[in-house]
Amino acid sequence: MTDKDHPDNTGTPSSNDSEKQHQSDVWTSGPEVQGGGASRQQSRAGGSGGKTPDMNSDEWQRDIINRLAFASLNEQRRSRRWSIFFRSLLFMYLFALLFYFPSNWEENAITTGKHTALIDLDGEIAANSQANADTLIQGLRDAFKSKNTVAVILRANSPGGSPVQAGYVYDEIKRLRKKYPNKKLYAVVTDMCASGCYYIASAADEIYADKASIVGSIGVLMNGFGFVDAMKKVGVERRLFTAGKHKGILDPFSPLKKDEVAHVKGLLESVHQQFINKVKEGRGKRLSKNPDLFTGLFWNGEEAVKLGLVDGLGSSSYVARKIIGVDKIVDYTPRQNYLDRFAERIGAAAANVVITTMGLTQLNMR
C-alpha cells in the first residue's frame, strides 16, 4: 500500500476540521447574556457540534440585538449604582459637617500639659457679630477655668463697636483676673485695636502690639444722614406724627433742633467719660500726660508704647514664648458652625436693611 492510500497522520488538521473549529469559536467566544433563551440555546448548540446557525437568519439577528441591549442595560445599571454611591457619600459628608461636628471640635481636642490659652477678638464688636460679649466671655471663662492654662492671650483685631458689649467684656475680664490671680491676661494687637476694642484691651494685665499696629481712638460717635434739603429740591413733604415731644429726635427727614442736638452731645460726653475712666482704671500710671490721649486720635504701635497705651512690641507667639514662658498655644475661641453662621448673617442683613431704610443710627466707639 502506498502513502497515497493512507490518511494523513502527521497531526495537521484537515480543511474541514479547521472550518468547523472556526465556526465553533464564533459562538463560544462571546459574552453570556441573561435574555433570549431560545436563541442562546441554539447558539450553544451550534458551538457544541450542532448545526451552524445562518448569520442571515432572523433568529441570529435577534440574538445579536439581545446581546447588545443587555450589555447596554448592564452598563447603565453600573453607572447608576456608582452615581448613587458617590451622592450618598457627599450627603453624609455634608450632614456630618453641618450637624454632627461641634463648632469648635478642633479646639475641644484633648490637650495635655501646660499651655497658653488664646481667644480671638476679630471684627466689629456688636451683639450680632462674631465679636459679641457672650462669645468672648464664654471663651474667656473656658480658658481661665482650664487647669492646664498658664496664662491667657486676647488677640485683638477690631475697629471698635458697641460700648455696651465692650463694657460687658471689660467687667468680665476684671472679674476673672480677680478670681484667678495666678493667671495673667495679655492683650495682643494685630492690625488694629481702636476705640471699643481698646476699651476691652485696657482691662488686661499687659498690652502688646506690632510696631505698625493702629492703637487708640478713645472716643465716641453717633452718625447718620440728613435729607431735608434733598426733599425740598424734589418737592417731597415729610409728615411725622409722634406721641412725645422728642420722639422723632434725629429724624433724618426733619430739621435738627438745637435742644435735641445738645441732648445727644451730652449723651456722647457721658459715654466718653465712662470710656476714659475705664482706660485710666486699667492702665493706671502707665498712661502719659499727653493732652491728645483721649481726643479720638490713634497711633502706631511704636508711638503707643511711648504714650503708655501699650507695654511692648510683640506677637502672640512672642508673648507666649518670651513673656509667659509656655510656647504651646491652645485656641479657646468659640466658633459657630456653618449653618448657624449662615442663619445669623441672614438675620443681621435683614436688620441692617431695616435700620438703613428707617434712617436709624447706632452709638459706636470708633
Active site residues: 195, 247
When computed from its CA atoms, the radius of gyration of the chain, rounded to whole angstroms, is: 41
> Cβ(163)–Cβ(200) under 8 Å?
no
Can you tell me the distance from the alpha carbon of 82 to that of 225, in angstroms, rounded to the nearest whole number?
60
Residues in a beta bridge with 152? 117, 185
**Nearest C-alpha neighbor of 215 from the set 155, 301, 121, 282:** 301
**Nearest C-alpha neighbor of 103 from the set 362, 334, 262, 284:** 334
Can you tell me the distance from the alpha carbon of 147 to that of 295, in angstroms, rounded to the nearest whole number?
42
Give the residue carrying C-alpha cell 459574552.
Answer: 31
Give the residue carrying C-alpha cell 422723632.
Answer: 248
What residue type is assigned to position 35 of the chain? Answer: G
Can you tell me the distance from the alpha carbon of 89 to that of 192, in angstroms, rounded to the nearest whole number?
43
Assign 158 to helix, strand or coil. strand
